[in-house]
Structure 1
Amino acid sequence: MALTALRTLFGALLFYAQLLLFLQCVLVSSAVGLAACPLLSLVHRRTAANWVAAQVMCILSEHALGITVEVDGAENLLRATSSPCILIANHQSLLDVIWLAWIFPRRAVVVANMFISHLPVLGWFMRASGCLFVKQGDGRSIKALFDGSLRYLEHERTSFVMFPEGRRNSSISGSLLEFKKGAFYLSYCTHAPIIPVAVQCTHPLYSWNDCRFKRNSIIHIRVLAPISTQDLTEQDIPTLIANTRDDIQKASITQAQHHSL
């Protein structure tokens, strides 16, 4: 009994130590990105600070956290280097910060929940680098997000990363929540291509309830082929949402069957 309790205590200590290290990596990456914002703003490239912070997070996740990312279909990201795109992905846990850093386009911003904008350092950095925030259910916030998104896509040629589930989904089975239509309606209005990104279920790697945060692990993601929305009509949006959700869910589950964290 005493040995079991000791093992549980030791496991919990390791979990919190790794979690604290992760938060420190996020803070360092954000601080570097925040420092880069004024310089990049001088050449009208402040959103590139997101890419700078992402590169720092890649290095830290690999060497400090012991977590790397393997990308299948990386060639599909090339579309985002030549024209603004909307990257949409399943949303699982705080570890989304790690895999996202590995695929972040040079000119892109993230759409995040409003509460993140109030966090020290990370929130300051995301506001300074031009990221957009939305408060679910707030009509004015949603309209401001849509207007800002149009400005980025049409005038600044900047891509977006969006999570259409709307909130974190820690499903162990890999099933996704219903997708909200915002990203798809935006693609309809701007004809920006959609790039679906499927992330393997990371529950075996990280679980708050089970005090699990593994080192020396690989997060597998698959970037699916870009979806052209050039000829998209408003009537096509529900079908596009359903098909994209199914494709991401199937790819995510398939990866879980072929890889173990």
Structure 2
Amino acid sequence: MLKLISYPLSFIVLILILLTLVVFHPIQWICLNVFGYQAHKKSVDYLNFILLRIVHLLGTTFSFENRESIPKGVPIIFVANHQSLYDIIAMIWFLRRFHPKFVSKKELGKGVPSVSFNLRHGGSVLIDRKDPKQAIPSIKKMADYIEKHKRSAVIFPEGTRSRDGKPKEFAQTGLKILCKNAPSAYIVPISINNSWKLVKYGSFPYGLGNRITFVVHEGFAVKDFEFKEIMEKTETAIVKGIKI
């Protein structure tokens, strides 16, 4: 029954999302090319704020727990499990003060209004998951960027979204490159819950009435641990915070 009810609501939400992406595409272009980075960032922040508000029409709520514990004034590497594209929308808005940049698949770098533009021009990196060697210099460039500007990188070490909320095996390479090339960074693990339920039927219709939570775990300095310990601490914290 809920799935049946979700069809008309999902149609309205999808149209509003597409309209918002189309409208903000030229706004982003103007902000970046006329006013510079800060204006472009603001346009991206408010784009994602509006997208969150649109998703509220589905009875979806978002909450970020323990945000105040995130270290300030240092580069941050946010490491999280991945359940849907709506993880990214929420993280851009709720973590906006940390200027989050994403490691994304190259397919998203074209064809999606606003999203593709921001990924190409906003400081994120696009990688070819079929060519791991190509990803190394791109991720290194991101690490250099956050180290220099004291901003943040977001990486989903599962590599792809979980369809049922259960975490997949964590890959090490991307995080290892970030840690090596941003030695003053702090790792901040984040556990994401229930985002997968928003797309449990596939891309359409949406799931209704979900409470999506982001649990921020205690951060720690990269320089204080060997990488093996970093990986273990990070994965343990994330998996422990996932509720199936």
**Which of the five TM-score ranges fits, normalised by the shorter chain?**
0.7 to 0.9
Q: Which runs of 5+ in 2 are unaligned?
A: none
Supply the AA of the counterpart residue of 2:227. I
Task: Tell me if structure 1 keeps the 8 A contact 2:104–2:125.
Answer: yes
* 1:29, distance to aligned residue in structure 2 (A): 4.8
* 1:98, distance to aligned residue in structure 2 (A): 3.0
How high is the TM-score relative to the length of structure 1? Answer: 0.77
Q: Secondary structure at the match of 2:196?
A: coil
Paired residue total: 239
Question: 1:176 maps to what in 2?
Answer: 168
Task: Tell me if structure 1 keeps the 8 A contact 2:13–2:54.
Answer: no
Task: Tell me if structure 2 keeps the 8 A contact 1:37–1:49.
Answer: yes
Q: Which runs of 5+ in 1 are unaligned?
A: 257-261
Task: Tell me if structure 1 keeps the 8 A contact 2:186–2:222.
Answer: yes
Pairing of 1:95-134 with structure 2 (within 5 A): 95-106=86-97, 107-121=99-113, 122-134=115-127
Task: Tell me if structure 2 keeps the 8 A contact 1:25–1:61.
Answer: no
2:230 is equivalent to residue 246 of structure 1: no
Cα distance, 1:27–1:224 mapped onto 2, change above 3 Å: farther
* 1:167, distance to aligned residue in structure 2 (A): 1.4
Residue of structure 2 aligned with 1:219, choices 201, 212, 216: 212
Larger Rg, first or second structure (1 or 2): 1
Task: Tell me if structure 2 keeps the 8 A contact 1:165–1:180.
Answer: no
Supply the AA of the counterpart residue of 1:111. V
Pairing of 1:7-22 with structure 2 (within 5 A): 11-22=6-17
Task: Tell me if structure 2 keeps the 8 A contact 1:57–1:98.
Answer: yes
* 1:115, distance to aligned residue in structure 2 (A): 0.8
Supply the AA of the counterpart residue of 1:190. A
Identity %: 20
Question: 1:158 maps to what in 2?
Answer: 151
Supply the AA of the counterpart residue of 1:243. K
* 1:132, distance to aligned residue in structure 2 (A): 0.9
Q: CA RMSD in A?
A: 2.9
Q: Secondary structure at the match of 2:79?
A: strand
Aligned-partner Cα distance in 1 for 2:208–2:144: 40
Moved over 4 A (4+): 7-11, 26-31, 214-217
Cα distance, 1:199–1:23 mapped onto 2, change above 3 Å: farther
